[in-house]
Amino acid sequence: MALELVTGYWGMEHVTAEQDADLNAGIIGSGNYVLNIGEKMRAEAVSANQVRIFDGVFMAYGRQCILGDGEYEDITIENGTPGLLRNDMIVVKYKKDEESGKENATFAVLKGETGSVAKDPVPNKQDIRSGAFESEVPMYRVKINGLAIEKIEPLYSIPMTNDDLSNRVSELDYKRSIISTESSVEVNSNHNVVSRSGKIVYYKLQLTTKKEIKSGDKIAQFPNFAFPSESVPFFTIALAGSRLSRVVGNVRITGEVIVYDTIPLNANVVISGTYITNN
């Protein structure tokens, strides 16, 4: 086998369902999902032995199944037994014909055992990507109490869209502040910031020394929200004229920025980094 260009022109049809499924699974995941669109394949009991599934998109192993906008499908559940419990399972049943290779998917019901305690039936959830010719992917658990459908429980997850993720990031605890510096350095305020989003802290100091900085000197102070859980080391270069010199230091758990090398007068230094804090 050799590398194959999928999204490219060959002069013939060549993209397969397997390749499309791999792309879906790589982006969304290979589990069983209902996408966040339309009615999201919600289910409701319309009678004592019938469940209606509304429009949406179901995906498993990257394979996409759809009920179009405004469509629905009714699924028959076998009647329950008075005074007893039963769990049935609505699955998406995948089949592939071994001779022709044709594939299809349908809703099916796996009947559970009737008794004083309800137990789930076991679906034949085989890996389609590995070549399975049949697979039963769980979608809903239907809890039957006596003659009534008591509850319908989803057995899939709904992945977040890119919009969902963007909104979630913007809702994170975001803080930003100018870094306080000592009189021994002069800073460019546009490059003198520390910010925190969730537990991630990013900082950048762009400064020029106004006097020689000695080993152990403090040059800046971070605000409380940016205190690290443990000392965070940094390494950078100081440029004084044509002379380069090494600068190492750390951000202490008290927020103090300390250097451990001598930095000459009028040296330009950029210190930046990212760390995770539990404070």
Domain boundary among 119, 134, 162: 162
Asked if residue 12 belongs to a domain, the reply is no
Structure tokens at 214: 């000695």
Question: Are 151 and 33 in a shared domain?
Answer: yes
> What value does the mean pLDDT take over residues 135-140?
97
The string of pLDDT tens digits covering residues 196-245 is: 988 899 999 998 999 999 999 999 999 999 999 999 999 998 888 888 88
Diameter over CA atoms, the chain: 91
The string of pLDDT tens digits covering residues 164-209 is: 877 776 666 688 899 999 888 887 656 789 999 888 999 999 989 9
Report the distance separating Cα 58 and Cα 158, nearest Å: 10
Domain housing 246:
172-276
Note the pTM of the prediction, 2 decimals: 0.63
Compute CA 253 distance to the chain's CA centroid, rounded to the nearest angstrom. 31
Question: Are 103 and 181 in a shared domain?
Answer: no
Q: How many domains does the chain have?
A: 2
The string of pLDDT tens digits covering residues 64-109 is: 999 999 999 999 999 999 999 999 999 999 999 999 999 999 999 9
CATH number of the domain that residue 141 is part of? 2.60.520.10
CATH number of the domain that residue 261 is part of? 2.60.40.1830
- Listed in sequence order, the residues at least 6 apart from 215 whose beta carbon sits closer than 8 Å to its beta carbon are 259, 260, 261, 262
The percent of the chain in helix, strand and coil, each rounded to the nearest 5, is: 10, 50, 40
